[in-house]
Structure 1
Amino acid sequence: MTRLGYCDKSLSYYQRAKHLTDSLTLAEKAQLLGSLNKGAPRVGIPEYNWWSEALHGVSNVGDGSKFGKIVPAATSFPTPITTTSSFNESLWKAIGQAVSTEARAMNNLGVAGLTFWSPNINVVRDPRWGRTLETPGEDPYVAGRYAVNYVRGLQDVEGQETAQDPNTRPLKVSACCKHYAAYDLDKWTDKGNMLIDRFRFSANATEQDMVETFLRPFEMCVKDGDVSSVMCSYNNIWGIPTCADARLLRGTIRGDWNLHGYIVSDCDSIQTIVESQKFLDDTPYDGVAQVLKAGLDMDCQSYYQKYLESASLQGLVKESDMDSALINDFIVLMRLGWFDGQPAYDSLNAKDICSKEHLDLAADAARKGIVLLKNVNSALPLSTDKHKNIAIVGPHANATSVMIGNYAGVPCKLVSPFDGLKAYANVTYQMGCADVLCKNETFIFPAVRVARDADATIIAIGLDLDVESEGLDRLDLDLPGSQNMLVRQVAQASKGPVVLLILSAGGVNVTEFHNSNDIDAIVWAGYPGEQGGAAIADVLYGKHNPGGRLPVTWYPGDYVSQLPMTSMNLRPIDELDYPGRTYKFYNGSTIYQFGYGLSYTQFTYAVTSTQKGLSKKLQFNQHCVQLSYNHSAYIPPCHGARISDLACNQEDITIDVSVTNTGKVDGTETVILFSRPPQGLDDAPIKQVIGFQSVFVAAGATEVVTFKLISCNTLSIVTGSAYVALPAGQHTIVVGTGDNSIEFPFQVSIKK
């Protein structure tokens, strides 16, 4: 081994990776480009499984990480949709750090790899999407910031977060942002009962929507998060499989964004391209050649291993393309210390898995992600004096594994809502429904009976992986089966306050219960992880004042009849009566808006900074961009400028927001900042998130939150021809959502 050049630590990672690649036979190269490979023993390379997952804790999906006698469990944090609801970037990073610590410990113990294909950062375009629970919600900027922080938590080695050459920067573990791109349909049946699935769906998104929405989180993940891997998705875009699209892979990820890492296929994607999508009627040999030349460095599964050697011998692909892919893969393994060791983490072992610190963080994340949606006459929080005997009923009353969602491992210690509430009261439990599908009404009456005598009743309802999951989109937004009947009958019979507790990822149609006088409070907990029950109890009894905000819009039930899942356009299509998608473009009514959430106290805002505008000057060889207006009281002589023509790397906007707690309870306020473009611009968003912060404010106190922003990022729009442009004119800055939101004008002038 000491005589092999790739073991010479005096050489750069690139030189070592090239030396190793050059030492391999063609057959060995093909074998090493598959995710589960047997290595190359001839030159000292052992077998390695690239496929591990860490969506919200180390998972046993992919078989790269294993649970058993050596490591029986790992901390299972809330699913990303719940964690995102905290709008707390430091929390997202802390979870990534905890997960990577447990992953490294498991690797030291020989039961995990170092390459984790997480997080999922696809934008939730449609509320029916089954994988909403895995994502950071519907806003591309929020999804991007989640990606940056979680990836930094997974990857960054303390003190070595940056490097002059990022390809030399050491990694704690390797993260992967997926699924690239425009992937947000799994398996859906339209009104004509035609089955459409992710393996054959062509996501025909406009270039405007690609730049503005579908690509933005990935760009942020690569550029700001410095992620070491990106996974391409199953779907086509305008008839071209994403894993075979050289423009998307070589052109954008590696060229425009300068990825420091490797590009991997979603599992069996190459086989799907050849056998299901029948792209260009390729043979398997043509298929592996196509994707390799497009820039795919790693095949999840074995198509490369079966066909790539022969494809090269047939002259369909150059061996040097295989070399480039392997060098990208090997450099990541070197940065991880797979060849040399990573002394900073050698001491991690079983004691660092399921530690009290990590379980406390899981509980804290669940508390911060819970969203209070309704609270009539301050029904919540419950009181240990007044509500000593409570009832909890419904299919999620004693939820355990439901709370950890999918892509989970074996949790350390599950705490159900029933168990969590026992710390505060005497609790009576009835299931109300046999399961979430709630097809048997015989369980409803026992639930009604216990509610009649309880000081307070919690009805725990919602969805689970039988309703929304990978490979399964919803057909409607309603609660399944007889859950509505359960809620009505229990609520009518209850003598004390009634709290509706919802476990779900996507929104559910609770219009009736939001308006009902029989329902005093509604709480959404998402899928809150293994400590979810304790967190729910802490919120219901006021130990924690909820500060979470919805990361997705909750639409009324008839939304699904207004447009098909297959329509990729974000903007309304008037001629088809399509109402648009996400809070940025949707023009209809909602149950709860994106960013909605209540507290047990009240907050007011005031803007204390004095900056009300800025000016940009174009140089001699730079030009104003022509924008389209549908109406406007004033159209500036220079409509705007392309971001590529402006100096955009400086923070040039400062906004100070004072947050005053006018109530009697300490609380955390989530301040979300939006911008609204000048009035009358065609196709511009209604508004868009430009920043967010969570701030703790004691009762009666005031805290100041400062936003330092780059105007090119925060005030720009994407034109119909897909230019990113900064419009001149009067923008509007909106602070907050709901009744306490405030707004003020912000003038942008652009001069030649």
Structure 2
Amino acid sequence: MASTTTPSSSLFAVFLLLLLLWGVSRHPSEAREPFACDPKDATTRNLPFCRVSLPIPERVKDLIGRLTLQEKVSLLVNNAAAVPRLSIKGYEWWSEALHGVSNVGPGTKFGGDFPGATSFPQVITTAASFNASLWEAIGRVVSDEARAMYNGGKSGLTYWSPNVNVFRDPRWGRGQETPGEDPVVVGTYAASYVRGLQGNDGNRLKVAACCKHFTAYDLDNWNGVDRFHFNAKVSKQDIEDTFDVPFKMCVKEGKVASVMCSYNQVNGVPTCADPNLLRKTVRGVWKLDGYIVSDCDSVGVYYDQQHYTSTAEEAAADAIKAGLDLDCGPFLAAHTEDAVKRRLLKETDINGALVNTLNVQMRLGMFDGEPSAHPFGNLGPKDVCTPAHQELAFEAAKQGIVLLKNRGPSLPLSARRHLTVAVIGPNSNVTDTMIGNYAGVACGYTSPLQGIGRYARTIHQQGCANVACAKDQLFGAAVDAARNADATVLVVGLDQSVEAEFRDRAGLLLPGRQQELVSKVAAASKGPTILVLMSGGPIDVAFAHNDPRISAIVWAGYPGQAGGAAIADILFGTSNPGGKLPMTWYPQEYLKNLPMTAMAMRPSQSNGYPGRSYRFYRGPVVYPFGHGMSYTKFVHTIARAPAVVAIPLDGRHARGNTTLSGKAIRVTHAKCNKISLGIDLQVKNTGSMDGSHTVLIFSSPPAGHWAPHKQLVAFEKIHVPARAQQPLRINIHVCKFLSVVDSSGIRRIPLGQHDLHVGDIKHSVSLQAATLGVIKS
């Protein structure tokens, strides 16, 4: 049938369609009505709490003064109730954005105009990039997509991410969510990602981030002990030296809007009921400008399961008086009013909690009327899963992949010589596995098999039905594939069935018969055999490292939606690997005398306790913290660095030696803002391939029973073209990074010789007490 439409009418129809689409993209917030203070609502638009021109504290005070006790109590929980008489809608506080907008938690729903969101690599993989600017860039993208989904009525604005617990024990199922074992790296990640999420306007938040889980939380379910019943017995030294470092950096440097207290007890007190942790430290010492929220149901947990209080009303009162502002769960809504009636709590205590939550909501613009009036009110479906966002996820995966072994070298593979590649293993064609936990719905996936298929003809055999690899029925076909290919890539490792929230690992070896599969395939392979590992935690693959038939080993972590493309680009040399391990890879024997419940970081010779992390453990490893190879070679040279740094003392402490203890100065007694240690480096790429390199600077402080044998004091990512060199200036904050913590939990700067290690180079600098901040070269 012939069309009767004229060209001019077709053009007009196209014009109308474009106009309509422009209107949808220009005003996506039409999908969401104002949360409060609707300018069309005559009953509230002129009330002080709705006046944007007034300071937020005045607006908050006015609103709290209008609420009844019952209304106040209904706002103390994550699914905060509406206040219809003041035209305030209900709000779900619980959304997650660990490495992309997630649908874990009730605050976010995918569907309609928002079928998915960019799924970045799991945090442990992104941490391996050691690239703080990348971490912040990911935060900016995630918050763009989060705001867009909020404007479209699909999510909230309060995200309970990131997880900044230190990866203390290699068996922890949630270690994948963390930036690794070094407290400074974890804290730097926290501050960077939070800045990306929240934006740079201190009084106005793009979204509100949350650093969790405070504190000493790193056991989920091990050997009959679970997180709901665990009492973490931690020394003051380890609290100050390790567990609290990332949280302090998150609050003081990242300016995070929220901190979440954890399920466990610390030294007999539930963290969510401990005023020393919450009111005194987080809000008092660190000056949190925001709210403190419980992990979900943790107030109920310490009443029902830990039996910390005799009555539910006492539990509610303890939480609020300790400094808790918001309960993820129903407990405070059910019991706080009765706690007031029983005079265990004052209504003014509840007011104090609401000041902190309402302050954050107002900084988010939720009481400013139309969402479209907000600076980010124009974000919508067009701003989610954009090509630029997906490209950043691809780039993050490439930067986080770590080359552990390269015999020969065998990598990179050649698309001209390796025409046929056998792709084998239970993780060889996975998609969901690549995004780890606390993920949402990805924009799309490229599996390892698909990625490698862009470079070569593939022969695919799983070898194992899944990572449990209980049977060898599929081994024969995998071995045959390896015999008939120019190269073999084995993609093995773990997934959420092995390591996850509430699922700690029993050991560090590959699950089931995976090791047997790897060895048999490697023995039969006609060409080079490349082992690719997917995991959050470390794996003891010493067998593969020592097997000459296994040419190379690559750790991909959980590399996100573009993981397969990133793996292939690394394997075939389109990209040069530059990742470094953010955690130590221990041998299985390390666990022999190491219960997960033992929290001490330092070793004990008396009972054979080995100590934890590269800072304190001196035994054998499979791969050390910071290990990572490249397809090129980088050489460091120190161009200039001081030999002596004088530590000026503050005020009255400059007279006499009252500040010295064991030849160390209390950090609080030093003029920290006047101490500088700058190092000028030259980084040379002596190879034939451009590459990015992470410069790691470690310090070995003067020997002492409280000092780590070495600690990371600075890191920087630098790109160096082939056969070129780049200058790099690194400034080390002496008080923060050259200090150590004594057995009483006091941070001190050890005087005397500190040895700085940059790769194979050692530079010694002497720290001396002085009344003038002089640096001598």
**Corresponding position of 1:176:** 210
* CA distance in 2: counterparts of 1:23 and 1:617, whole angstroms: 53
Q: State the Cα distance separating 1:343 from its structure 2 match.
A: 2.4
Structure 2, unpaired ranges of 5+: 1-43, 772-777
Query: Is 1:114–2:165 an aligned residue pair?
Result: no
**Corresponding position of 1:185:** 219
Query: Is 1:675–2:690 an aligned residue pair?
Result: no
Match of 1:402 among 420, 429, 433: 433
**Corresponding position of 1:323:** 351
User: What are the equivalent positions in structure 2 for 1:86-235 lying under 5 Å apart?
Assistant: 86-157=129-200, 160=201, 162=202, 169-189=203-223, 195-235=224-264
Question: Are 1:624 and 1:641, in contact at CA under 8 Å, matched by a contact in 2?
Answer: no
Query: Is 1:701–2:733 an aligned residue pair?
Result: no
**Corresponding position of 1:487:** 518
**Corresponding position of 1:268:** 297
Q: Which amino acid aligns with 1:645?
A: H
Identity fraction in percent: 49
**Which is further off, 610-619 or 520-529?**
610-619
Question: Are 1:624 and 1:640, in contact at CA under 8 Å, matched by a contact in 2?
Answer: no
* Alignment RMSD: 1.1
TM-score (norm 1): 0.95
* CA distance in 2: counterparts of 1:583 and 1:451, whole angstroms: 37
Q: Which amino acid aligns with 1:259?
A: L
* CA distance in 1: counterparts of 2:401 and 2:53, whole angstroms: 51
Q: State the Cα distance separating 1:626 from its structure 2 match.
A: 5.0
Query: Is 1:84–2:107 an aligned residue pair?
Result: no
Match of 1:558 among 566, 579, 589: 589
Q: State the Cα distance separating 1:2 from its structure 2 match.
A: 2.3
Question: Are 1:394 and 1:430, in contact at CA under 8 Å, matched by a contact in 2?
Answer: yes
Query: Is 1:748–2:767 an aligned residue pair?
Result: yes
SS in 2 for 1:279: coil
Residues 186-207 of structure 1: CA deviation (Å, up to 9, x unaligned): 0001xxxxx0010010111100
Query: Is 1:290–2:318 an aligned residue pair?
Result: yes
* CA distance in 2: counterparts of 1:650 and 1:64, whole angstroms: 46
* CA distance in 2: counterparts of 1:415 and 1:63, whole angstroms: 28
**Corresponding position of 2:461:** 430
**Corresponding position of 1:374:** 405
Q: State the Cα distance separating 1:749 from its structure 2 match.
A: 0.8
Q: How many residues align?
A: 722
SS in 1 for 2:362: helix
* CA distance in 2: counterparts of 1:251 and 1:148, whole angstroms: 21
* CA distance in 2: counterparts of 1:710 and 1:604, whole angstroms: 24
Query: Is 1:471–2:514 an aligned residue pair?
Result: no
* CA distance in 1: counterparts of 2:356 and 2:651, whole angstroms: 41
Query: Is 1:718–2:730 an aligned residue pair?
Result: no
Match of 2:331 among 291, 303, 316: 303
* CA distance in 2: counterparts of 1:619 and 1:650, whole angstroms: 10
**Corresponding position of 1:165:** none
Query: Is 1:641–2:650 an aligned residue pair?
Result: no
* CA distance in 2: counterparts of 1:651 and 1:338, whole angstroms: 43
**Corresponding position of 2:18:** none
SS in 1 for 2:496: coil
Residues 132-173 of structure 1: CA deviation (Å, up to 9, x unaligned): 11000000000000000000000014xx3x4xxxxxx10000
Q: State the Cα distance separating 1:547 from its structure 2 match.
A: 0.3
SS in 1 for 2:590: helix
Residues 393-434 of structure 1: CA deviation (Å, up to 9, x unaligned): 000000100000111110001110000111100011101100
* CA distance in 1: counterparts of 2:109 and 2:608, whole angstroms: 50
Q: State the Cα distance separating 1:573 from its structure 2 match.
A: 1.2
Question: Are 1:451 and 1:457, in contact at CA under 8 Å, matched by a contact in 2?
Answer: yes
Question: Are 1:670 and 1:695, in contact at CA under 8 Å, matched by a contact in 2?
Answer: yes
Q: Which amino acid aligns with 2:56?
A: Y
**Corresponding position of 2:20:** none
SS in 2 for 1:377: coil
Residues 559-596 of structure 1: CA deviation (Å, up to 9, x unaligned): 11121111100000111101110000002111100000
SS in 2 for 1:575: coil
SS in 2 for 1:344: coil
Larger radius of gyration: 2
Q: State the Cα distance separating 1:346 from its structure 2 match.
A: 1.3
**Corresponding position of 2:28:** none
Question: Are 2:664 and 2:749, in contact at CA under 8 Å, matched by a contact in 1?
Answer: yes
Structure 1 residues 619 and 303: alpha-carbon distance in aligned structure 2, compared to 1, 3 A threshold: closer
Structure 1, unpaired ranges of 5+: 163-168, 190-194, 629-638
Structure 1 residues 683 and 640: alpha-carbon distance in aligned structure 2, compared to 1, 3 A threshold: closer
**Which is further off, 47-56 or 436-445?**
436-445
SS in 2 for 1:546: coil
Query: Is 1:337–2:356 an aligned residue pair?
Result: no
Query: Is 1:568–2:634 an aligned residue pair?
Result: no
* CA distance in 2: counterparts of 1:366 and 1:283, whole angstroms: 49
* CA distance in 1: counterparts of 2:52 and 2:681, whole angstroms: 51
* CA distance in 2: counterparts of 1:384 and 1:35, whole angstroms: 53
Query: Is 1:734–2:734 an aligned residue pair?
Result: no
Question: Are 2:404 and 2:627, in contact at CA under 8 Å, matched by a contact in 1?
Answer: yes
User: What are the equivalent positions in structure 2 for 1:354-369 lying under 5 Å apart?
Assistant: 354-369=385-400
* CA distance in 2: counterparts of 1:495 and 1:7, whole angstroms: 73
Q: Which amino acid aligns with 1:31?
A: S
Q: Which amino acid aligns with 1:315?
A: R
**Which is further off, 9-18 or 262-271?**
9-18
Residues 533-575 of structure 1: CA deviation (Å, up to 9, x unaligned): 0000000000000000000000011111121111100000111
TM-score (norm 2): 0.92
SS in 1 for 2:232: coil
Q: Which amino acid aligns with 2:568?
A: A
Residues 618-648 of structure 1: CA deviation (Å, up to 9, x unaligned): 35621454545xxxxxxxxxx1210101111
* CA distance in 1: counterparts of 2:650 and 2:183, whole angstroms: 31
**Corresponding position of 1:636:** none
**Which is further off, 449-458 or 713-722?**
713-722
* CA distance in 1: counterparts of 2:303 and 2:167, whole angstroms: 28
Match of 1:614 among 623, 645, 651: 645
**Corresponding position of 2:87:** 44
Question: Are 1:624 and 1:642, in contact at CA under 8 Å, matched by a contact in 2?
Answer: no
* CA distance in 1: counterparts of 2:173 and 2:584, whole angstroms: 15
* CA distance in 2: counterparts of 1:61 and 1:618, whole angstroms: 50
User: What are the equivalent positions in structure 2 for 1:574-593 lying under 5 Å apart?
Assistant: 574-593=605-624
**Corresponding position of 2:32:** none
Q: State the Cα distance separating 1:283 from its structure 2 match.
A: 1.1
Match of 2:267 among 213, 216, 238: 238
Q: State the Cα distance separating 1:600 from its structure 2 match.
A: 0.3
Residues 348-393 of structure 1: CA deviation (Å, up to 9, x unaligned): 1101000000000000000000000000011000001110100110
* CA distance in 2: counterparts of 1:588 and 1:361, whole angstroms: 38
* CA distance in 1: counterparts of 2:204 and 2:481, whole angstroms: 58
Structure 1 residues 696 and 172: alpha-carbon distance in aligned structure 2, compared to 1, 3 A threshold: same
* CA distance in 2: counterparts of 1:616 and 1:225, whole angstroms: 27
* CA distance in 1: counterparts of 2:593 and 2:506, whole angstroms: 13
Residues 87-111 of structure 1: CA deviation (Å, up to 9, x unaligned): 0001000000000000000001000
* CA distance in 1: counterparts of 2:488 and 2:118, whole angstroms: 30
Question: Are 2:660 and 2:666, in contact at CA under 8 Å, matched by a contact in 1?
Answer: no
SS in 1 for 2:767: strand
Question: Are 1:651 and 1:709, in contact at CA under 8 Å, matched by a contact in 2?
Answer: no
* CA distance in 1: counterparts of 2:745 and 2:233, whole angstroms: 15
* CA distance in 1: counterparts of 2:177 and 2:438, whole angstroms: 8
Question: Are 1:54 and 1:118, in contact at CA under 8 Å, matched by a contact in 2?
Answer: yes
Residues 313-371 of structure 1: CA deviation (Å, up to 9, x unaligned): 11110100100101110010000011114521111110100000000000000000000
**Corresponding position of 2:25:** none
